[in-house]
Amino acid sequence: MKIAIAQLNPTIGDLAHNAQQIVDAAQDADIQGAQVLVTTELALCGYPPRDLLLRPGFIAAMAQQLERLAAELPPELAVLVGYAAANPNALQRGEKPLFNSTALLQGGHVQQVFHKQLLPTYDVFDEDRYFAPGTGPSRFTLHTPEGDVNLGVTICEDLWNDEEFWGGRSYPRNPIADLAEARVDLVINLSASPFSVQKPQLRAAMLTHSATRFRCPILYANQVGANDDLIFDGTSMAFNRQGELVARLPSCQTGLMVVEYDLAKADLLPGTVAPLPTDDNEALWLALVLGVQDYARKCGFRQVVVGLSGGVDSALVAAIAAAALGPDQVLAVLMPSPYSSDHSVSDALALCATLGLPYHTLAIGPLMADYDQVLNPLFAGTDSGIAEENIQSRIRGNLLMGISNKFGHLLLSTGNKSEMAVGYCTLYGDMNGGLAVIADVPKTRVYALCHWLNQPGQSSPLDSQDNPASEDAESQTTPPSPDPLGALAHLRGQVPQGFIPSHILTKPPSAELKPGQVDQDSLPPYKVLDDILERLVQRHQSTADIVATGHDPAVVDRVTRLVARAEFKRRQAPPVLKVTDRAFGMGWRMPIASRWP
């Protein structure tokens, strides 16, 4: 028996196009002789639909689209489709109005419906806002010429509650254990698990453990693509009864994988195993490129604009944008002030030449003088300080927003996570934008990613690959670049210093808002700062715990207070592409008015 996994990139709310993706995958699976096709969690509407689920018309349209989809699929193929189903007993039982469900479609009809049992409410997940939990175990029997096969159906979080793997349970039940007790032959999971660094490896370890513990093969289908701030890497997998990986789809690409189940052996046979990215930097690069590409495409932007300062952050964002959309779709804007060093301009120009970016220079000195003149009656008798420095950033922010507004370009914000954490950024200035590309990437990782990008012979993230979003392009107003991940490949071997000019990576980072300014005038060294921030933001360690690791108590106390005081800025930031397990965004819910610590 052959089972296919469709690694899909749905667009939130585009029911007709998402359904067409499923039809296309089903036809391909049918040609390859599959008896079952597995799609991803909420594949029909896209994950996460968020408060679209509160609109009755959206739910009704999804139900109608599901019926049409069933009629369009190859009739002999059993297709598992993720969708949101109405809960008919919600009012009588006082339950939530919907289920996060999977429909079994075959023979032109909906044959069975299965509901997600474990509803996550942590980090970016808020599923009990919309869904009632299902009861299980969920399973169905597939009749084949070789015999019957009993398949168990789970949805994403249903896999994530093994007390032996995690050291405890987050929910009372373990749906995988229930299916094992029901003696299913194979467990199928439809997922929409967002990317973070090392997450694919964690999933693989968890699936290996469950398959081994319950002596049951597991098929895992994960969504790919970016929706708003969340990036989904796909990396769908299959494990045999021994917990061995037998098949895997690539990260950050759509695709179809067919695996074979041997009824005599009651196990999956070896298939094709796509390699994972070689290291965390490559995985992060692919995710960020996909995040920018899909955000622009799904929001209807053809081009982006980036303010280039000659610094490392804007250089990395420009490189990501060029790889995502093509260099000719990235407008770089240089905005030197009287305090800008000569190398800032020359480094920015070198980057434009290296990446092949069109650029324009807008000197802001005259505008600064105009602001000084207008504000002089009010500011007279005061010392020049942070307010005047920040006006420079706000002038630049206004110019960039003007360009965005005039030409319809998406403005990409270039601040990193370290700056966002401690508020080393200017509201309505460098924080302006429609997408914060690297605001979940600490400064030290920004440097590491740039050095990785510059490695001699580095080719895998930039050389020609399948467009991870191309299958969605026909329904979008914005066509993708014909080869977005290979858009910079023509530079390979032509730029001895690498994609990021070397001087950008060696000079001290500076906002250049006053003469001789460097970041370390105001902040601890980034290596120190990032370690403190990881412990505080990611690990939730107390100041005492952080000090116990060897950090200066005064520095820890100052950083902790800066993080708390900057909350009002983060609340007004653009959407942040999430690439760690604790990002500033919808999963970060800190109060603004707080006296802690």
How many angstroms separate the CA atoms of 437 and 316, rounded? 9
Question: Residue 235's Cα: distance from chain center in Å?
Answer: 13
How many angstroms separate the CA atoms of 523 and 517, rounded? 12
pLDDT tens per residue across span 71-102: 999 999 999 999 999 999 999 999 999 999 99
CATH 3.40.50.620 fits 282-523+566-570, yes or no: yes
Interhelix angle 365-379/386-407, rounded to 10 degrees, is 130
Residue with tokens 């996550």: 120
Run of H or E including 140: strand 139-144
Report helix, strand or coil for 452: helix
How many angstroms separate the CA atoms of 326 and 486, rounded? 9
Q: What DSSP string runs through 343-385?
A: HHHHHHHHHHHHHT--EEE---HHHHHHHHHHHHHHHTTS---
Choices 3.60.110.10, 3.40.50.1100, 3.40.190.10, 3.90.950.10: CATH for 2-276: 3.60.110.10
Q: Which residues are catalytic?
A: 41, 116, 156
Report helix, strand or coil for 234: strand
Spell out, as residue ranges, where the chain has pLDDT lower than 70: 456-498, 512
Peptide bond before 338: cis, by omega within 30 degrees of 0? no
Residue with tokens 């429909």: 103
pLDDT of residue 480: 37
How many angstroms separate the CA atoms of 7 and 31, rounded? 17
pLDDT tens per residue across span 317-341: 999 999 999 999 999 999 999 988 8
pLDDT tens per residue across span 395-440: 999 999 999 999 999 999 999 999 999 999 999 999 999 999 999 9
Closest listed residue to residue 427, CA positions, set 542, 571, 331? 571
Cβ within 8 Å of residue 592, ≥6 positions away: 567, 568, 571
Domain boundaries, the chain: 2-276, 282-523+566-570
CB-facing half-sphere around the CA of 392: CA atoms within 13 A: 20
Could you give the angle at the alpha carbon of 177 between the alpha carbons of 171 and 180, nearest 5°?
160
* Contact call for residues 304 and 333 (beta carbons, < 8 A): no
- Greatest C-alpha distance within the chain: 91
The reply to whether 2-276 and 282-523+566-570 are identical in fold is no
How many angstroms separate the CA atoms of 404 and 545, rounded? 45
Bridge partners of 188, per DSSP, are 153, 219
Please name the residue ranges forming H helices in 215-338: 280-299, 312-325
pLDDT of residue 498: 66
* Contact call for residues 188 and 38 (beta carbons, < 8 A): yes
